[in-house]
Amino acid sequence: MAFEESEVRYVAALARLSLTDEEIHRFSTQLKQILSYVDKLNQLKTDDISPTSHGIPMQNVFRKDEVIPSLDVEKALSNAPAREGPFFLVPRVIEDA
Amino acid sequence: MSAFETVIGLEVHLQLATRTKIFCGCPTLFGSSPNSQTCPVCLGLPGVLPVLNRRTLESGLKVALALNCRIQPALKFHRKNYFYPDLPKGFQISQYDLPLSFEGVLEVPAAAEAPAFAVRIHRAHLEEDAGKLVHKEGSRASLVDYNRAGIPLLEIVTEPDMRTPEEAYRCLQTLKHTLQYLDVSDCDMEKGSLRCDANISLRPAGAKELGVKTEIKNLNSFKHVRNALAYEIRRQQEALSSGGKVIQETRLWDDVKGVTLLMRSKEFAHDYRYFPEPDLVPFVLQSEEIQAVRRTLPELPPARTRRFMEQYGLSSYDAGRLTSEKQLADYFESAVQAGGVPKATANWIQGDLLAACRERNVEILDLKVPAAHLAQLVLLVEHQTVSSRMAKDLLKAMMKTGEAPEPLVKRLGMSQVTDSGTLQAAAQTVVQGNPKAVSDYRAGKRQAIKFLVGQLMARTKGQANPELAHRILESVLKEGA
Ligand SMILES: [Zn+2]
């Protein structure tokens, strides 16, 4: 299975990863190897097997609509790299027209 | 300019009213102090597990059934991946290939001068809301409040079945009215419980293929939707008729300027790399469970309209108007149960009461006229205790004081004179005091009696029953001839 350098660049951009040309080349080669290994699964006959999204035979796990106390604001913010009052502070994102 | 056909589709996000968020136990109270309703799950801290709130599924199911959707027998959640600071996990838990429901239909009833039509529902699925970003004027930073992150939403997507901004407006109104019947959301646009985006494209009239669409966001009311769509039709028409192209993009409605503007956001690849949410198991809905939820559905507008026509003898327009809004229909039925004659009750609601609502910009329940009071008013007119003209004044007094009509009639000395003895005596006096009109009448000028009825009404301070006054005058005039 092909995994071109252009695709590595694209996926890296989506994941907000900044990679050097050397890394892109290396990852492209490695990802090709990994994908062709996984590709072996396609040789299996799976016509009679229904699709699964989970390895465990479990379904319908619910909770009741009952309140569990939230974190204290100070605790919620304690891992934040930056804050202002009770808010998380992030670099400005422009969304206005 | 009519060489183009407009094609409109809508996307509505409905906040489901629950005590807790969709995947964690944080409360969902509106207006709480920032970041006071968060926990490791909705903050996306490592190692936590989301667990589905059963009530969100039930509420979503209710809406799906009310919109005549097919229900997915086994549904799954997916991760929709993108980076934005209002999304703490870096993905939103949503649904992808196996949504809660699909292929529904919403019947939009006839309006005063427009026929009914149907809008197909493409799908309705469950997902979690994102946090709220507060942009600080002149600052290089934004503030984030994650109280809203993880609030349960139902996203309802219509097929592109609308052809005018007015149809989109009516579709949204009908949708909102239907949702209000279900009691699953407060549907408050100001609080963001109901949000709407619109997709619009033009194509040459008669063409099968859809044109390039734009998506309009920042629509804070149904009126904005209508205005933004009307503007966007003009903009796209101008582009296409001058040989230009419409570019697929997201535009924001600026209500102050009355225009849509291209949304400039940080480069935002529309490649969400959906994949199954490994932390949530599939949900299998047995048909008995679906039937159980179906049984909890209230009588919805189309069925209630039919019943109002049969049971109360209302016209289809009256029945449709009254049942479009649950509180209006409930109010009508309470008044009828309290003894109000159905037709007259419907007329009062659609006439004076709704006019007062529009004038004061309030709901019918805010008018200080409980349904039982309206029923009494209807009966006072029916029993001719007050004339219909006096009843209008009486209603005004009722809205002012909140009192029941009967004591008010006594206090204001309003009751109609229906005692024929009293009227007989007054009629004699009128006839004696107006010889000119009497002789005109007797000379064949039948119109002259109107003047005499007026005199009689004046003598009784407007409290005579006009029909009775007319009859008694006629007989007095006949006797004296
Ligand atoms: Zn939480």
pLDDT at B1 over 50: no
C-alpha to C-alpha distance for B452 and B441, rounded to whole angstroms = 10
pLDDT of B140 higher than 70: yes
Across B76-80, B267-271, B343-347, least confident range: B267-271
Cα–Cα distance for residue pair B40/B64, rounded to 1 Å:
31
**Residue B2, pLDDT above cutoff 80:** no
Same domain, B66 and B201: yes
Under an 8 A CB cutoff, do B19 and A67 touch? Answer: yes
Highest mean pLDDT among A43-57, B93-107, B459-473: B93-107
Same domain, B264 and B232: yes
A interface with B, Cβ–Cβ below 8 Å: 13-14, 16, 53-54, 56, 58-71, 73, 76-77, 79, 82, 84-97
Residues B197, B239 share a domain: yes
Q: Which of B90, B81, B77 is nearest to B43 (CA)?
A: B90
In the Cβ-directed half-sphere of B389, how many Cα atoms lie within 13 Å?
9
Mean pLDDT of B227-234: 97
pLDDT of residue A97: 38
Tallying the residues shown for chain A, one arrives at 97
Average pLDDT of the residues in A71-85: 96
The pLDDT of residue B103: 98
Distance CA B345, CA B371 (A): 10
Q: Using the beta-carbon criterion (under 8 Å), do B35 and A77 form an inter-chain contact?
A: yes
**B314 and B171 co-located in one domain:** no
Instruction: Tell which of B274, B292, B310 closes a domain.
Output: B292
Mean pLDDT of B212-238: 95
Question: What are the structural domains of chain A?
Answer: 5-42 (1.10.20)
- Least confident stretch, B71-75, B122-126, B201-205, B263-267: B263-267
Distance CA B150, CA B42 (A): 6
* Chain B residues with beta carbon closer than 8 angstroms to that of A61: 51-52, 280-281
Judged against a pLDDT cut of 50, whether residue B92 lies above it is answered with yes
CB of B141 within 8 Å of any CB in chain A?
Answer: yes
Percent of chain B exceeding pLDDT 70 equals 97
CB spacing of A59 vs B281 below 8 angstroms: yes
Question: When comparing pLDDT for B263 and B173, which is higher?
Answer: B173
pLDDT of residue B415: 66
CB–CB of B394/B423 below 8 Å?
no
Mean pLDDT value of segment A4-21:
90
Domain with B360, as residue range(s), is: 301-412
**Cβ contact A88:B84 at 8 Å:** no
Please give the average per-residue pLDDT across A66-94, as a whole number: 93
- Interior CA angle at B10 toward B4 and B12, to 5°? 165
Residue B200: which of B184, B187, B219, B182 has the closest Cα? B219
Tokens of B82: 């993108």
Distance B31 CA to ligand 1 centre (A): 16
Do B60 and B190 fall into the same domain? yes
User: What's the rounded Cα separation, in Å, for the pair B468 and B478?
Assistant: 15
3-state class (DSSP) for residue B150: coil
Strand partners, B79: B93, B275
Closest CA–CA distance from residue A7 to any residue of chain B (Å): 13
Contact of B247 with chain A, judged by CB distance below 8 Å, is answered with no
B411/A contact by beta carbon, under 8 A: no
Mind telling me how many Å the CA of A22 is from chain B's nearest CA? 24
| CATH number of B446's domain | 1.10.10.410
Q: Is the pLDDT of residue A96 over 60?
A: no
Does residue B135 sit at the A interface (CB-CB below 8 Å)?
yes
Q: What interface predicted TM-score (ipTM) does this complex get? A: 0.88
- B239-251: average pLDDT: 91
Whether B419 shows a pLDDT value over 70: the answer reads: no
Residue B113 has pLDDT above 50, yes or no: yes
B332 to chain A, any CB pair closer than 8 A? The answer is no
State whether B252 and A56 contact (CB < 8 Å). no
User: What is the nearest CA distance from A23 to chain B, expressed in angstroms?
Assistant: 22
Minimal Cβ distance to B264: which of A63, A79, A97: A97
Residue B480 has pLDDT above 70, yes or no: no
Q: What is the mean pLDDT of residues B442-470?
A: 82
Judged by CB atoms closer than 8 Å, whether chains meet at B143 and A88 is answered as yes
Whether residue B444 is found in the same domain as residue B306: no
What domain count does chain B have? 3
pTM value is 0.82
pLDDT tens track for B317-369: 899 889 988 999 999 999 999 999 999 999 999 999 999 999 999 999 999 99
**What tokens appear for B430 in the block?**
């009128």
B35, B43, B282 member nearest A86 (Cβ): B35
**pLDDT value for A95:** 53
